[in-house]
Amino acid sequence: MRGLRDSRVHRTSSLPAIGTLVNQPAYAELVKEFGRARVVEALRRQVADERGAGGEMQDSDRLVRVGTTLRAAVAPKLRGVINASGVILHTNLGRAPLSRAAIDALAVAAGYSNLELDLDSGRRGERAALLSGLLMQIFGCEAAFVVNNNAAAILLALTALCKGKEVIVSRGQQVEIGGSFRMPDVMRLSGARMVEVGTTNRTRQDDYEQAITSRSAALLRVHTSNFRVAGFTEATTLAEMASVARGHELLLIDDLGSGAAEPIADEPTVAESLRHADVVTFSGDKLFGGPQAGIVLGRGESGAAAVKTMSRHPLARAVRIDKLTLAALEATLRQRLSGRLDEIPIERMIRASVEDVRRRAAMWSVKLEERGVRTTLVAGESAVGGGALPGHRLPTMLLALSGPASRLAAALRHGDPPVIARIEKDACCLDARTVLKGEDETLIDAVEVAFKAVAR
Ligand SMILES: *Cc1c(COP(=O)(O)O)cnc(C)c1O
């Protein structure tokens, strides 16, 4: 309220009526841009504030204030940022950035498309069926279905296949995924009854065997994708769970969540899951570098029947995949099918060598030093993140900016575009691994601006 105090002229409530103010020529521009009603409303609040503060602003200051308020209200809230944090699938930054082909596909879906029209017959088509064939080819399975996200895929599987029956889950797999997706809550919501077996650190094949009753419908394995239990642990393998399930004609459902499309570190792969489970679900972004989506695969006759039941359940309509998501996912699947993995940003980031990252950071360093920004190259680690590969760190090379770390990080975040850095060992650090191709110059400009703002 500094402006208000500086420009105070009267202590009385001699303010002109709102109707008079809004008709002043100075307000014509704002009225044209935002409409009379919105300007009147903003003016009413402004004048009330002035009265509340017991003073009155100069007309020109009031005009600026009202304009700022109106513009702030319509400024985009969702903004592109540069991710220099080194966390590849950053939950707070939208997880996977899309490939060029996926972005182009969004434009196709934005207009009219054959989303639900079979162009050959002219009859109604099924949107999810557009992707089933591609997924079946990539993973060599008997059935596939896509929904909005993986949380929805699990909810749909449990509701359509297990409602009113029992589902056996290990106590070591009662996970919470970011954004409060908790397995026991999802189970309750689906109407399936959860039967917990084993302990937090150990669950054996026999524990599953003992829990089976005439009301059992399925065994559920939940990949503990965002944490590791170390020490005295024992988990029943998927193969052992499959043998229990088969012996009692129960379904084996595997919520893989993240996992890996290609073998990496000790992450479970989709192929491995499909060898044993009837139904496998996972995220379209965590594992694929596509848009957020829920992918459901069915193996064998039992899996195919289960996927069919899921796709016909009324809940499938409520969680159906959006046309933009579908378009981006199809483009990403085609890139995977044809082996063009290096076109998918997260794959490039995961596979970049320390030397690749170091070269880029060194180039930034030279340019920044020329502009008076002091930097140092330090060894560090990047993370895959997003509840994926929890124990897996990638060696990287960080560019540390000299100066007060948290103030620098805040200045970068407030920049245009905002840059998300990471504070490590009391330094504000930039990890080139997660900065997209073509963002280098913009980043360098933004760092210079932030550095100078803090130095002032
Ligand atoms: C991430 C994850 C989910 C939720 O997936 P969304 O795509 O965020 O809906 C569910 N289960 C596991 C094991 C996960 O890792």
**pLDDT tens-digit series, residues 258-292:** 766 666 666 788 999 999 999 999 999 988 899 99
H-only helix segments in 140-269: 150-162, 183-190, 205-211, 238-247
Query: Is 168 a residue whose pLDDT tops 60?
Result: yes
- Residue 452 is predicted with a pLDDT of 96
Lowest-confidence segment of 49-63, 146-160, 313-327, 329-343 by average pLDDT: 49-63
Write out the H or E segment, with its range, that includes residue 351.
Answer: helix 345-351
* CA distance from start to end of the chain: 23
Distance in Å, CA 256 to ligand 1 centroid: 8
DSSP per-residue letters across 266-306: TPPBHHHHHHH-SEEEEETTTTTSSSS-EEEEE-HHHHHHH
Q: At 176, is the pLDDT very low, low, confident or very high (cuts 50, 70, 90)? A: confident
Mutate to test the pocket of ligand 1, among 146, 255, 285 (most ligand atoms within 8 A of CB): 255
Mutate to test the pocket of ligand 1, among 149, 150, 288 (most ligand atoms within 8 A of CB): 150
Percent of the chain with pLDDT strictly greater than 70: 91
Distance (angstroms) between ligand 1 centre and the Cα of 178 equals 8
Q: What is the pLDDT of residues 119-138, one digit of tens each?
A: 999 999 999 889 999 999 99
Q: What is the pLDDT of residue 17?
A: 86
User: pLDDT tens for residues 394-452?
Assistant: 999 999 999 999 999 999 999 999 999 999 989 999 999 999 999 999 999 999 999 99
The contacts of residue 155 (CB under 8 Å, 6+ apart) are 186, 189, 190, 315, 319
Q: Which tokens belong to 153? A: 């895929």
Instruction: Mark 57-66 as b/e (b = at least 16 C-beta within 10 Å).
Output: beeeebbebb
Q: Give 15's pLDDT tier (boundaries 50, 70, 90).
A: low
In Å, what is the CA distance from 431 to each residue of 199, 360, 364?
Answer: 39, 10, 11
pLDDT greater than 50 at residue 12: no
How far away, in angstroms, is 257 Cα from ligand 1 center? 4
- On whether the CB atoms of residues 69 and 259 are closer than 8 A, the answer is no
User: For ligand 1, is residue 325 a contact (CB within 6 Å)?
Assistant: no
- Secondary structure of residue 234 in the 3-state scheme: strand
Question: Can you tell me the mean pLDDT for 223-234?
Answer: 71
Task: Say what the pTM is.
Answer: 0.88
CA of 38 to the centre of ligand 1 (A): 42
With H, G, I as helix, E, B as strand and everything else as coil, classify residue 420.
Answer: strand
Q: Which residue, 394, 391, 434, is CA-closest to 225?
A: 391
Q: Is 255 in the pocket of ligand 1 (CB under 6 A)?
A: yes
Cβ–ligand 1 distance for 225 under 6 Å, the answer: yes
Burial class (CB in 10 A: 0-12, 13-18, 19+), 336: buried
Closest atom of ligand 1 to 153 CA is: 9
3-class SS of residue 251: strand
Gap between the Cα atoms of 435 and 444, Å rounded: 11
Integer angstrom CA distances of residue 190 from 65, 153, 166, 170, 171:
51, 11, 11, 18, 19
Which pLDDT score is estimated for 258?
78
What is the C-alpha to C-alpha distance for residues 217 and 195, in angstroms, rounded to an integer?
A: 11
Distance CA 183, CA 197 (A): 14
Average pLDDT taken over every residue of the chain: 91
Residue 28 has pLDDT above 90, yes or no: yes
- Cβ(296)–Cβ(151) below 8 Å: no
In this prediction, residue 6 carries a pLDDT of: 47
Kindly give the number of the ligand 1 atom that is closest to the alpha carbon of 222.
13
From 225, 228, 392, mutation site for ligand 1 pocket: most ligand atoms within 8 A of C-beta? 225
Mutate which of 177, 183, 256 for ligand 1? The one with the most ligand atoms within 8 Å of its CB, which is: 177
User: Ligand 1 center to residue 300 CA distance, Å?
Assistant: 24
Contacts of residue 68, defined as CB under 8 A and 6 or more positions apart, other chains included, come to: none
Is the model more confident about 172 or about 146? Answer: 146
Q: Stretch 363-367: mean pLDDT, rounded?
A: 98
* pLDDT, tens digit (0-9, with 9 covering 90-100), for 300-311: 999 999 999 999
The SS3 assignment for 152 reads helix
Q: In terms of DSSP H, where are the helices of 168-223?
A: 183-190, 205-211
Comparing 378 with 263, which gets the higher pLDDT?
A: 378
**Which residues have CB under 8 Å from 111's CB, separation 6+?**
none
Q: Which atom of ligand 1 is nearest to the CA of 284?
A: 7
Stretch 185-206: mean pLDDT: 91
